[in-house]
Amino acid sequence: MKPSLRLLALLCLLLCASHARAHTATFSVLLLEERAPGEFLASWEQTPTLNDPSAAFDLLRPVFPEHCRLSPPRLDCGVKGLSGELGFDGLGELGTSGIIKIRWRSGKAQALSLSSAAPHVRVAPTQQAEVAFRSVASFVRIGVEHIWLGWDHLLFVLGLLWFASSWRALLKTVTAFTIAHSLTLASASLGLFVLPTAPVEAVIALSIAFLAVEMVREVRSRKPSITRRAPWAVAFAFGLLHGFGFASALSELELGKTTLPLALLCFNVGVEVGQLLFVGALIAVKPLWRKLQQRLGPRVALFGQYAVGTAAMFWFFERVVAFFPTV
């Protein structure tokens, strides 16, 4: 590959990777704690896009039932209670998803997931069980959004598909990756086996770099690489690691023990749906990719391989530096 093309690949990927964050929480979380009948304390547990949490009420613009009166941190809903429409009006402007966690005096808790496409939800105290189920089931949507914002995960899946030379290999590879990250996602979310987030994120970046090296080495040696011979094994091994990355999103929401199992299931379903949609999109554009290769030659593939490796190493060093925030 010519040095000029390598430099172009490096510049393009640095520009893209500098804006790409994967497995990083993008949830703004508002906690409502019922202290007396109809009286709540409102506080922000998480505002990832805001440096000043005190500004979250003005920027995210939470919506409460009409009879409720907010005077931060106090929310007074009177005798009618927290019954009506809840949500955020500022989600689309800030590019974040929203979670409203409600802790009732009875000890029950529920989490309402919101997005810019569906920023509001209705709540009725007499229908807490039904609303709780709907709110947890909406974690499917959060799982889809999380995977689509996970650039490093998507790039890893793209790399795996490069080595799946048949439909059978593709099915085995996707299945192995799904099983692996589902196992570690569940174990980490349930507290059975947990790894620190920062090192996991750094090694996830290295997993992408490994695939990039495998691609280039295969082209140069003209011999099948390890990943080409057993893509399902590589997918399973690194899938275990990616599952811990997914778990970081749920762990930061601090869901209750009663809510967590169903939320975990729905979140994982959402991740799989998002992943399958991505794989389907790649399969759909594969004929166009082949035409592009025929027109531009093998250099376009080599450009992509160097680009993948560049992005992976950019993320790796960025995450290693994050270990030392004072540097």
Q: Is the pTM of this model over 0.85?
A: no
**b/e code 32-66 from CB counts within 10 Å (16+ = b):** bbbeeebbbebebebbbebeeeeebbebbebbbbe
Query: Which pLDDT does position 234 carry in this prediction?
Result: 93
Query: Which pLDDT does position 134 carry in this prediction?
Result: 55
Structural domain total, the chain:
2
Task: Decide: 168 and 324 in contact? Cβ < 8 Å.
Answer: no
**Domain finish residue from 138, 167, 188:** 138
Residue 327 included in any domain: no
Adjacent-strand bridge partners of 87: 63, 120
Range of the domain at 242: 3-22+150-321
- Whether 18 and 39 map to the same domain: the answer is no
Q: Where are the beta strands (DSSP E) in 72-157?
A: 74-76, 84-88, 97-103, 109-114, 120-123
Q: Both tokens of residue 227?
A: 């990943």
- Whether 168 and 92 map to the same domain: the answer is no
In this prediction, the residues of the chain whose per-residue pLDDT falls under 70 are 1-26, 49-51, 94-96, 124-137, 252-259, 298, 325-327
- Whether 160 and 303 map to the same domain: the answer is yes
Q: Mind listing the pLDDT tens digit for each residue in 232-259? A: 999 999 999 999 888 877 776 666 666 6
Residue 178 included in any domain: yes
- Whether 36 and 116 map to the same domain: the answer is yes
**Domain finish residue from 138, 167, 201:** 138
Parallel/antiparallel/unpaired status of strands 97-103 and 109-114: antiparallel
- Whether 18 and 73 map to the same domain: the answer is no
Query: Which pLDDT does position 105 carry in this prediction?
Result: 83
Instruction: Quote the percentage of the chain above a pLDDT of 70.
Output: 81
